[in-house]
A and B are shown apart, each in its own frame.
Chain A
Amino acid sequence: MAQRIFVIDDAATVRLYHRQILEGAGFEVHEAINGIEALEKVLLASTPFDLYLVDVNMPKQDGYGFLRELRQLDIRQAPAIMISTEAQAIDRVKAWEAGANFYLVKPIKPDALLGYVHLLLGAGGTA
């Protein structure tokens, strides 16, 4: 069964970009446009997700907020990658405290994204 990746980003373009790359590699991709919608989907999901890609900057609830709440849920926890832009350096400590496991800087090249995603899913390397 395909591994399930949850892409949380307010920009539709970014979601589509990630979706195309990840689906192209055979992953099942789910989307949410902010932290609140994402939490709902996590709670409603019949199977827990295997990996989260979380944008830092979102309306309503940002990436930090989402991760903090996600990590308090009693579900099978999975790795989360935070995604920031180069202009806005991520606050590493804040990200780690919120519950991120890694972060990447937008725009992420497809091979790099797939490389890290594969590794974080324990699916071996890509390159």
Chain B
Amino acid sequence: MKMTPLLSQFLLESRDFLDEIGTKLIALESEPDSNDLMNELFRLVHTLKGNSGLFDVPAMTRVLHAGEDLMDAVRNARLSYSQELADQLLATIDFVAVLLSDIEQTGEISSERTEPAEVLVRNLRQLIPAPSPDELDADADEPSFDPTTIPLPELSTVPETARMEAFRRSVMGSELFLIAYRPEAECFFKGEDPFYQVRQLPGLVWGHTQAREPWPPLLELDCYRCNLDFHLLAASTRSEVDEHFRYTPEQAHIQALSAFALVIPQGQSNGGPVYADFVDEALKLLHAGDVQGLADASRVMLELSAPGLWLSSALRWLQLIIEVAPEERTLLERLITSLTSSSTAELTDWAAQTHVPTPTDTAVTESEPATRLSDIDQQRLTEILAVQSEILALSESTDGLPGRLQACAATIAACLANLGEPAAELDEALAAALELNSAQPLAEWLAALREGMAPVATTAPAPTSAAATPPATAPAPAFERRSSPAMEPEAKFGRRAEDNVSGKVLKVDQTKIDRLMNLIGEMIVAKNALPYLAKRAEDEFGTRELGREIKTQYAVINRIAEEMQDSIMQVRMMPVSFVFQRFPRLVRDISRKLGKQVELVLEGEDTEADKNVIEALADPLIHIVRNSLDHGLEVPEVRQASGKPPTGQLRIRASQESDRVMIEISDDGGGINPTIIKRKAYEKGVLDEAQLERITDQEAVQLVFAARFSTVDEITDLSGRGVGMDVVRTAIDKVGGSIDLHSQVGEGTTIRLSLPLSMAVTHVMVFTSDGQNFAVPMDRVVETIRMPVTDIRTIKRSKTLSRRGKIIPLMAINELLAIPAEPQLNSAGEFTALVVRIDHQPVALMVDEFRGVMDVILKPLPGELARLKCYAGAALLGDGSVLIVLNPKELIEWA
């Protein structure tokens, strides 16, 4: 634990409490019957225990809890005060004092204390007499126990298949309920069988058990007490569920659910690219009402995506909704647009607001809710309103009724504000209540409000769920274990957990891991042959059944292969600190040599990336840092003259953004002067006169990346060794990264590097041209577009497009590759183009058709062909054909 103000406050206050408890205990020896002293002691121990609960100090909390229970027994006269009891309590406070010193000195409780803590707890508990049977019964029959205090499970922990099943049943007319059932601890003695009870629940879709308190050590475990909470998802009717729990209504927290709340796509969010064109196309299909087309498009996309991805999960939901509730346009649209961000936030917020999809409900789903509350907030809100009902239902004889009514009304008003509802009617109800000095009007108004808010349509059809559910789609309610692999993304990367156990770290020769990496690469390519095989089985041999089976098997192999690849890649991950650690020394040495004062700030050193990426990063990064020190940061005198602190700052920050590592190197030096750059560029022939006129300052600054460009006149032995920033750019390009420079004269320079997490697989966009497959790396792709031919404008004999107010050049890939064929148009007379980014400029490439995105193992072309820079490499496809991956930058410059 870190020493925070909160922790020091806790330590300080705890000492005071211990002192006071000690004094009170001594005082109690002289007047053992004093109730006041007893109550005060209880309060002190109770508060101290409560405070300890804020920190992770289980030993202390357990001991104090036992002490508190003991004091409670004394206070309630179940036990009389004795010398032995005082001794034990004094021992307790001494022990707690030891624990506090532990925390003070080392920040945590020594592991040696566990044993004595257990002994102490046992001793304290032994003094507490077992409650008499009467008391037990009294406790058990406590009628006022409120089932809504039983915590409900988070919907996101319910497996996707179960949620989908529930969604289906809801569409078929069932109501949905999320239930937390907490049987009494003594239930076994009453002949109850909670497990049987749960299994018999009508319309049970999913169930799960959870220990309500942490399991005690085996020796202390009382196996005749029920320590389980049951979490259930049922598609049924309210009356059936209520009937089922009729004998124990206080043990079941039953919450009605909207089917939309179940639509929670889950999975890895950083595994897939954004299928921008799919989203556009899907929305188009949706708006055109082409549900079948949408179903087909999403199925194709789903087949292309790894099942563990968030994206795939969203697509599965999309398919389900298309299948069973195609009229839910808003939901479909939300789901499709959520694909661009791979984020559920918007979706769930919205879903929490909406109702069960019934045909009559469309008016609600189509209008935007005024405010959005998340699922959990929605639950809390319902809870708060339920309490207000309870309050208003109380007898009215107590004092301060007007004040209480006003407080209730204020609470309800807050709830309304959260929902974006007006409070005018509430004010009327409150005024009426105050006038009558009765809670009645307010209570009635609230009852009406809550009824209207109930997430389940009150007009739901009456048929029993059994009748409404076709037997074919209703598998026997299965009890699923919570630990399905898809739900534990952490578990996949076992390495992290094991890393902490130093004894279990294994040193492995890197070549062995590289071999594994190659093998899995081949495996991924090999498995891609299966879909082709399935297609052949269908098309050539006419056995659809076999084709489908191959596809199913492919899905399994695909999942395993991807997980395996993930795990192997994880093994190869290294923190950037591996490179960063050289900098403090480097910066110190160089800045001394140059007579500069520089403070180096490193951030995000534990960001991880593939070993190859980290290694490829080292040289460019050192070069950039040297450049900054040499040309960027000024000597102290110059800095002071321009009103800056004499010490310059150099900041290197690493962070992970989805599947990329971002490295930002920024200094607060002199920045790059665009005028000087322009002049130099002109002198060196990088720019001609016409270009010199046109170029903007920001563009000029980018010229430092141009080949053979160096901005400093005198060559120092540091950065000016004839190696310019062009080398840095080339090195970064080579590992599939990009570099971005931003500079402000007098304020400093910031360089941002964006690198892939791993170089093992390359994300490519595949397209066809004249019947051949080609691809470009995805990190170059800006967007894919389809536009009517008539939109092409010719400016000075060059084809261009107007895109978001910008003119971008348009080239045909056939022309660039010298393929003698015209680009093909689709039936609507539209051409297809891929917009790629080349040196920050978008360029559109006309192609024939898109084939989607693929992960390939990119191999450089062999022999002489390797010198053809316009090819990034080649990859083997699943059907055995070779895919040529183009390097659009070189291709365009070369042409």
- Chain B residues with a Cβ closer than 8 Å to the other chain, count: 54
Q: Contact at A87–B5, with CB atoms within 8 Å?
A: no
What's the least CB distance linking A70 to chain B, in Å? 7
A73 & B384 in contact (Cβ 8 Å cutoff):
no
Chain B positions 374 through 403: 1 when the CB is less than 8 Å from some CB of chain A, otherwise 0 = 111110110010011011001000111001
Q: Is B779 in the interface zone, CB < 8 Å from A?
A: no
Q: Which residues of A contact B375 (CB under 8 A)?
A: 127
Determine which of A12, A57, A78, A93 lies in contact with B144 in the assembled complex, contact meaning CB atoms within 8 Å: A93
Q: Specify which chain B residues have a CB less than 8 angstroms from the CB of A76 in the assembled complex.
A: 406, 410
How far is it, in angstroms, between the C-alpha of A59 and the C-alpha of B13 when the chains are bound? 16
Q: Which of B69, B403, B408 sits near A70, CB closer than 8 Å?
A: B403
- Say whether B10 contacts A13, CB under 8 Å: yes
Interface pair A102/B47, CB less than 8 Å apart? no
- Within the complex, the shortest CB–CB distance from B155 to chain A, in Å, comes to 12
- CB of B403 within 8 A of CB of A14, answer no
B54 in the interface (beta carbon within 8 A): yes
Q: Give the residue of B53, B384, B403 whose beta carbon is less than 8 angstroms from that of A72.
A: B403
B376–A72 CB distance below 8 A: no
A12 and B50 CA atoms in complex are apart in Å by: 12
Query: Complex: how many Å from CA A57 to CA B75?
Result: 15
Q: Is the beta-carbon distance between A122 and B415 smaller than 8 angstroms?
A: yes
Contact of B399 among A12, A68, A122 (CB under 8 A): A68
- Which residue of chain B has the shortest Cβ distance to A120 in the bound complex? B414
B414 touches A97 (CB 8 A): no
In the complex with contacts A17-B54, A107-B50, A115-B411 CB distance below 8 A:
no
Interface residues of A in 98-127 (CB under 8 A from B): 99, 101-102, 106-107, 115-116, 118-127
* Residue of B5, B13, B65 with most chain A CB atoms under a 10 A cut-off: B13
Q: Does A87 lie within 8 Å of B46, measured CB to CB?
A: yes
Interface band, chain A: 35 or more
Complex: how many Å from CA A122 to CA B381? 10
Cβ of B404 and Cβ of A71 under 8 Å apart?
A: yes
B583 nearest CB across to chain A (Å)? 33
Q: Which of A17, A79, A115, A126 contacts B414 (CB 8 A)?
A: A79
Decide if B6 is an interface residue (CB 8 Å cutoff): yes
Among residues 27 to 68 in chain A, which have CB atoms less than 8 Å away from a CB atom of chain B?
Answer: 57, 59, 68
Question: Do residues A124 and B373 form an inter-chain contact, with CB atoms below 8 A?
Answer: yes
Please, which residues of chain A bring their CB within 8 A of the CB of B283?
none
With a cutoff of 8 Å between Cβ atoms, the chain B residues found around residue A88 in the complex are 46
Q: Which of A17, A77, A115, A119 contacts B415 (CB 8 A)?
A: A119
How far, in whole Å, are A127 and B6 apart by their CA atoms in the complex?
A: 24
Q: State in angstroms the CA–CA spacing of A126 and B413 once bound together.
A: 18
- Is the beta-carbon distance between B53 and A107 smaller than 8 angstroms? yes
**Interface pair B54/A125, CB less than 8 Å apart:** no
With contacts A13-B6, A59-B43, A122-B416 taken as known, whether A96 is within 8 angstroms of B407 at the C-beta atoms is no
**Contact call A85/B403, Cβ cutoff below 8 A:** no
CB distance from B54 to the nearest CB of A (A): 5
Checking B9, B403, B416 against A99 with a beta-carbon cut-off of 8 angstroms, the contacting residue is: B403
Q: A13-B10, A13-B54, A17-B54 are in contact. List 11 more A-B contacts (CB 8 A).
A: A72-B403, A77-B406, A99-B407, A101-B387, A101-B391, A102-B387, A102-B411, A107-B54, A119-B381, A119-B414, A120-B411
Nearest 4 A-B pairs (CB), nearest first? A125-B377, A122-B417, A71-B403, A122-B414
Q: Which residues of B contact A (CB under 8 A)?
A: 5-6, 9-10, 12-14, 40, 43, 46-47, 49-51, 53-54, 65, 68-69, 72, 144, 146, 371-378, 380-381, 384, 387-388, 390-391, 394, 398-400, 403-404, 406-408, 410-411, 413-418
**Residues of A near any B CB (own CB < 8 A):** 10-14, 16-17, 20, 57, 59, 68, 70-73, 76-80, 85, 87-88, 92-93, 96-97, 99, 101-102, 106-107, 115-116, 118-127
Could you give 8 example pairs across A and B, Cβ below 8 Å? A17-B54, A77-B407, A93-B394, A97-B394, A101-B387, A116-B380, A124-B377, A125-B372
